[in-house]
């Protein structure tokens, strides 16, 4: 389920390993977050670099919550997965016959492989898409995931989806791999495409799978902020090439907030930008790339330069208006080291999964890497039926599924969810606002849920409300600040909270329904 880098890679590798995959996706095959990824993929393949150094940067960015054993897998298998992508045809950029390597925030080495300058995701997506088509893999486009069904000890046996025409169909299967991406577009300010609504997370939770780390939503610090224009990502690789952040008065401000300034981790840069906008009473700051030679800027970031040109901005002469926006959901379906969820027969990889490799704050360009590293492990393990699943977290939050009535979809309700997530469950959080939003999400879930969630799929607004509720309740539970999760009422990290929070859905008692 899903056609980003994780879904396409798993499908291709399953086919190569002699399995018969069917790939189902919500929109068209190429529509995913992967397509819009600019920076690249992190891998320790350059001179003077090593997996140990990549691990150190990953752990440092993760604010004390990185699962070191999983992160060692991520960085240790990275070079082999880059080689696999090259084998599949991804045209990574080279200089004098060697792979070109960029640098991004919180990396202490240049280790970001990229393609087409700043069009890495597009090249990866197109290459894997055409490879899947050439292999003749069964495809089902424009099909929204509604639920997965399980039967006894064999676990998940089918998926139920709805086409754009409204027809509902069931696909029987021996295993389901969720690669449906994150939930960034549930926020009113987001770098994500419209498809990133957390459906896979909601469906897994409703089927009984454990979620984890839902409070950790990463906000990208530099997203284009121009009236009437889309929230287009300005990759931090631009800062890696020497661009600076300035306020409206032209002052460079980040050195006042962190010693690493423009190369500090994303959560720190995002909060610094918010603080600077509040201090100067402005609605954006400016990314100043005028110090980068024109030829180099256009060669390294051609997609961004063309985009800015279309909106009347010359980045070689003037600052680029930017603000933070929701970018990546660190949490998701809890998995083990081979992608197994807590529900037998259900695997997950990519942004939909909570592997533990990102801790409380993802290191730049580890996301596409996570999709292929754990995608490879999922594909290889699918030939086996051994099952254990992830360990249960030390702390659990129960999200109650209300005993509600069915209702029609509501555009106003979706807008309210997006607005509340951005304002109350965003970059800066506090207990009363989190509690109020969680209560409202619960009300919306009750209103838009089906009469019998065990026999009828949720979908649409109810899925959005459920995922929003999971994020808000986990954020309310974590009474500290750590990584991307910042509470103004608990502004410091607390040693007692150096743990992962699990989230489980509790269904209403069936006896209530029988007495209606």
Q: Which residues are catalytic?
A: 266
156: which strand partners?
A: 150
Contact between residue 216 and residue 484 where contact means Cβ atoms under 8 Å apart:
yes
Both structure tokens of 154: 């064999």
How far is it between the farthest Cα atoms of the chain?
A: 75
Cα separation, 247 vs 254, in Å, equals 10
Cα separation, 206 vs 504, in Å, equals 9
Cα separation, 450 vs 403, in Å, equals 9
Contact between residue 487 and residue 440 where contact means Cβ atoms under 8 Å apart:
no
C-alpha separations of 65 from 60, 68, 453, 497 in Å: 10, 9, 34, 9
Cα separation, 112 vs 99, in Å, equals 10
Q: What is the 3-state secondary structure (H, E, C) of 2-68?
A: CCCHHHHHHHHHHHHCCCCCEEECCCCCCCCCHHHCCCCEECCCCCCCCHHHHHHHHHHHCCCCCCH
Both structure tokens of 467: 């995922």
């Amino acid at each position: 389920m899903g056609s980003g880098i994780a879904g396409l890679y798993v499908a291709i590798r399953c086919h190569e390993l002699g399995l018969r995959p069917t790939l189902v996706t919500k929109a068209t095959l190429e529509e995913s977050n992967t397509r819009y990824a600019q920076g690249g993929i992190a891998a320790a393949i350059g001179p003077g670099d090593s997996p140990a150094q990549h691990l150190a940067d990953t752990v440092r960015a993760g604010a004390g919550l990185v699962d070191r054993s999983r992160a060692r897998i991520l960085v240790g298998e990275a070079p082999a997965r880059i080689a696999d992508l090259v084998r599949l045809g991804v045209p990574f950029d080279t200089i004098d016959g060697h792979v070109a390597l960029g640098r991004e925030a919180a990396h202490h080495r240049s280790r970001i492989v990229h393609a087409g300058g700043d069009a890495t995701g597009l090249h990866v997506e197109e290459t894997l898409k055409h490879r899947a088509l050439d292999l003749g893999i069964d495809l089902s486009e424009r099909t929204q995931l509604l639920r997965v069904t399980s039967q006894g000890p064999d676990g998940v046996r089918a998926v139920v989806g709805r086409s754009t025409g409204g027809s509902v169909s069931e696909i029987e299967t021996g295993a389901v791999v969720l690669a449906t991406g994150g939930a960034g577009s549930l926020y009113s300010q987001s770098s994500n495409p419209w498809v990133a609504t957390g459906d896979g997370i909601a469906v897994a939770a409703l089927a009984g799978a454990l979620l984890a780390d839902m409070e950790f939503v990463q906000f990208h610090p530099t997203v284009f902020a121009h009236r009437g224009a889309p929230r287009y990502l300005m990759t931090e690789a631009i800062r890696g090439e020497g661009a600076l952040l300035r306020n409206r008065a032209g002052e460079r401000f980040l050195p006042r907030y962190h010693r690493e300034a423009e190369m500090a981790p994303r959560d720190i840069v995002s909060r610094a930008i918010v603080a600077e906008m509040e201090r100067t009473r402005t609605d954006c700051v400016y990314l100043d790339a005028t110090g980068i030679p024109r030829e180099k800027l256009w060669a390294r970031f051609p997609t961004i330069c063309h985009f800015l040109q279309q909106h009347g901005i010359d980045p070689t002469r003037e600052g680029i208006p930017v603000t933070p926006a929701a970018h990546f959901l660190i949490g998701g379906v809890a998995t083990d080291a081979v992608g197994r969820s807590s529900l037998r027969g259900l695997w997950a990889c990519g942004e939909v999964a909570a592997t533990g490799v990102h801790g409380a704050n993802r290191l730049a360009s580890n996301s596409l890497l996570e999709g292929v590293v754990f995608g490879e492990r999922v594909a290889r393990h699918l030939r086996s039926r051994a099952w254990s699943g992830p360990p249960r977290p030390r702390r659990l939050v129960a999200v109650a599924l209300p005993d509600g009535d069915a209702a029609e979809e509501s555009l106003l309700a979706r807008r309210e969810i997006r607005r509340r997530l951005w304002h109350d469950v965003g970059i800066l959080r506090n207990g009363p606002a989190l509690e109020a939003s969680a209560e409202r999400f619960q009300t919306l879930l009750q209103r838009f849920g089906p009469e019998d969630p065990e026999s009828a799929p949720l979908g649409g607004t109810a899925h959005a409300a459920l995922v929003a509720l999971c994020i808000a309740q986990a954020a309310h539970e974590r009474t500290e600040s750590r990584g991307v999760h910042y509470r103004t009422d608990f502004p410091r990290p607390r040693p007692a909270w150096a743990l992962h929070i699990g989230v489980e859905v509790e269904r209403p008692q069936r006896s209530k329904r029988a007495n209606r």
